[in-house]
Amino acid sequence: MGTERAERDENDLRDGIVEVMARLVAGDQAAVWDLHDLAERDLARMVRAEARRIDVRISDEDVLDLTLDAAIDLAKLAPAWRPDGALPWVWARQRVNGLVHAHIGTFASELDDTHLDIVVPDPVPSMDRPRDVLRSLAARHPAAHRLDKRLDDTVTERDADIWLGVQLEKGAGNRSPAVTVAVDHDMRPDAVRKVVQRVGQRLEAVA
């Protein structure tokens, strides 16, 4: 029963999102508020998760502001979003995370530490490229180092970035990872899938 209700709720949410995004594409700018109403809970969870990941505390008021900013950003991307793909905030997860980093960076740059006895750390840089994420992990984790080395030895930098991007999107629950990564690389989803297949085959060959 619980599973059926969850599936119903998700279907209702998707139907609402499809309708709202269609209104935005048609030029109904007021639909951004309806988009925020539908997405606020998930957006707030994403904002808090990214803030925790980089070890920064963020107030409830700032979370609300960022969910509003994210809804406005998603509204601008409405023409590129596909109803049969991931939900907009999953599809544009990097955009949402980027808003969190921009907010934290602005906050940190306004601190005046000349009268403080503590050292204020530099803002944590946003790693937009999946390849950069792997290289950061490779410095600390042997498994990540091995994967990084295999990618260096077998595929191009571009193909490695695409393959890693798809893996990250899958891990985030994106049901259409190729669609999201295709937008990031200005490619068609089927071309992304071919790259992923090619990289997977080469990694298997050297495993």
Tell me: the pLDDT tens digits for 160-197? 889 988 888 777 777 778 888 888 788 888 888 999 99
Q: Residue 7's domain spans which residues?
A: 1-126
Q: Within this chain, do residues 7 and 73 fall inside the same structural domain, yes or no?
A: yes
Tell me: the pLDDT tens digits for 49-107? 988 888 888 888 889 989 999 999 899 989 999 988 889 999 988 889 888 888 877 54
The 3-state secondary structure of 143-188 reads HHHHHHHHHHHHCCHHHHHHHHHHHHHHHCCCCCHHHHHHHHHCCC
**What pTM, to 2 d.p., does this model score?**
0.51
- Mean of pLDDT over the chain: 81
Q: Within this chain, do residues 69 and 143 fall inside the same structural domain, yes or no?
A: no
Token reading at 139:
């410095």
Q: Within this chain, do residues 66 and 101 fall inside the same structural domain, yes or no?
A: yes
- pLDDT at residue 38 greater than cutoff 90: yes
As a whole number, mean pLDDT of residues 28-33 equals 90
Q: Within this chain, do residues 71 and 157 fall inside the same structural domain, yes or no?
A: no
Q: Within this chain, do residues 72 and 83 fall inside the same structural domain, yes or no?
A: yes
Q: Within this chain, do residues 4 and 91 fall inside the same structural domain, yes or no?
A: yes
- Give me the pLDDT at residue 101, please: 86
From 97, 126, 155, give the residue that closes a domain. 126
Q: Within this chain, do residues 147 and 97 fall inside the same structural domain, yes or no?
A: no
Q: Within this chain, do residues 106 and 168 fall inside the same structural domain, yes or no?
A: no
Q: Within this chain, do residues 118 and 147 fall inside the same structural domain, yes or no?
A: no
Count: domains in the chain: 2
Q: Within this chain, do residues 85 and 140 fall inside the same structural domain, yes or no?
A: no
Of 42-51, 120-129, 141-150, where does mean pLDDT reach its minimum?
120-129
CB neighbour list of residue 21: distance below 8 Å, 6 or more residues apart: 35, 78, 81, 83, 88
Q: Within this chain, do residues 131 and 74 fall inside the same structural domain, yes or no?
A: no
Q: How confident is the model at residue 22 (pLDDT cuts 50, 70, 90)?
A: very high
37 CA to centre of own chain: 20
- Give me the pLDDT at residue 13, please: 87
Q: Within this chain, do residues 29 and 107 fall inside the same structural domain, yes or no?
A: yes
Measured CA to CA, the distance from residue 114 to residue 73 in angstroms comes to 36
